[in-house]
A and B are shown apart, each in its own frame.
Chain A
Amino acid sequence: MAVKFFGQFLVEQGLVSRDALISAIDLQDQKNLKLGEMAVSMGYITQVDIERAHNAQMSKDMKLGDLLVEMGFLTLTQLDDVITRQKNTHLYIGEALVQVGALTGESLQQHLADFKADQAQYISDGIELPVNIANSKIWEMTADLTYKMITRVLDLQFRPGKCVTVEMLPPSFMMAAMDFSGDVEARYLISVSEGLQKSVAKAILHEESVEAESVEVLEDTVMEFVNVVCGNVAAKASQMGVIMNIDPPVTIHPPTGGLPVPAGHTALCFPIHIGDGDRMELILLIKN
């Protein structure tokens, strides 16, 4: 029911043991050479060149390959050769599990088909952003996964509104927020009306009525929804090669006039229209 990678799917389903998966991952670590290691093995550069580039990386925010080109250790053609060799010789986790004897070639194909079917629900449908923004694919995926989780986790029917940039975060009953750090920096916020907070609580707690629940529990359920979405966004981002770390969620009670967008940030607002006048907003405060 969540975004997973293949090895996790196999262990969670009891199809391979955790020890077998660790052996396969260790085998991958041995066989899948990093870019610098591959360039050395192909005779293009030396270990000393890599060390120089690593030292330079401390003061320059560049990928190793680009830096090796900039420092004149590799030509662009050689860098392409190295990347192509890495791709062509990459040992995937499924193949590694076959090599350590945890799966047969036949069972691998069957499990791969089952895994693809399990994860098909998380393939992006495509979202349009109103502005040119860095890492737009990540933010489109974030909005798309939020919509999917509203359906799957909250079991709510909704209509997504058009995404707009805003200067003020609109007032709302409450917001739950989570910060992303790593390759991208942003704050993920979900705002809910009072009625919708109860709908979220019913779904998260699997209860028919939440009238007797404390404010603390009701707010916690919205934070937990944000936690689930953001964890799955981080998982999907890692599949896209982007590192996204998350902090524990927090609640915010915006003033009646709304909250101004902090300087140096772009705020994308995705209105989410739910029946009976209830409203939810997804807001991404993206550091420029």
Chain B
Amino acid sequence: MKRVLVVDDSLSVARQLEKIISESGDFVCVGHAKNGAEAIKMNHTENPEIICMDMNMPGMDGLTALRTLSVMDKEVKVVMVTSLGGVGDKFTEALKLGAKNVISKPFEVDNVLRILREL
């Protein structure tokens, strides 16, 4: 099963994503980081294959963390899960920084799983 790290300052979103991931049968959730800085640390300690990360977080935001992760770890695949997905500039910046896809909130379970399985 592929190892997934969830990064979101919202407890409720993290819970939703952890539930979707753990019930999928294809993925296992290895942890929950509350901002970009924690995500970078947990990427090192938990060695996930996939990171589902929010953009808008207090402290280090998702795009800053993505920029760092894309330099530090070429293997990990990052998918942004964000309410800002529909803002064209943010979406394009995320893809150019190396995100594999951007999922808009509110998200649908089937859509999240399809995108994770396609990675």
Contacts and interface: CB of A to CB of B under 8 A. Distances in A.
A5 B91 contact: yes
Contacts of A238: 86-89
B85 A2 contact: yes
B12 A231 contact: no
A22 to B, nearest CB: 6
B13 interface: yes
A204 interface: yes
Contacts of A25: 92
Contacts of A153: 106
Interface stretch (B25-33, B42-50, B63-71, B107-115): B107-115
Interface in A185-221: 201, 204-206, 216-217, 220-221
Interface stretch (A10-18, A41-49, A254-262, A270-278): A10-18
Contact of A231 (B15, B56, B99, B111): B56
Interface residues of B, number: 36
A234 interface: yes
- Contact count band on A: 35 or more
Given A11-B101, A14-B118, A25-B92, A4 B106 contact: no
Nearest to B102: A8
A205 B15 contact: yes
Residue in B58, B96, B106, B118 whose Cβ sees the most chain A Cβ within 10 Å: B106
Interface in A234-254: 234-236, 238, 246-248
B12 A228 contact: no
Report whether over half of chain A's contact residues are helix, strand or loop; otherwise say mixed. Answer: helix
Contacts of B105: 2, 227-228, 231
Given A152-B106, A223-B10, A18 B87 contact: no
Interface of A: 1-5, 7-8, 11-12, 14, 18, 21-22, 25, 149, 152-153, 201, 204-206, 216-217, 220-221, 223-224, 227-232, 234-236, 238, 246-248
14 contacts: A2-B83, A4-B85, A5-B88, A12-B85, A12-B102, A18-B95, A152-B106, A220-B11, A221-B12, A224-B13, A231-B87, A235-B84, A235-B86, A246-B84
Given A8-B86, A8-B104, 15 more contacts: A3-B104, A5-B88, A22-B92, A149-B106, A204-B16, A205-B16, A221-B12, A224-B12, A227-B56, A227-B105, A231-B83, A232-B104, A234-B84, A236-B86, A238-B88
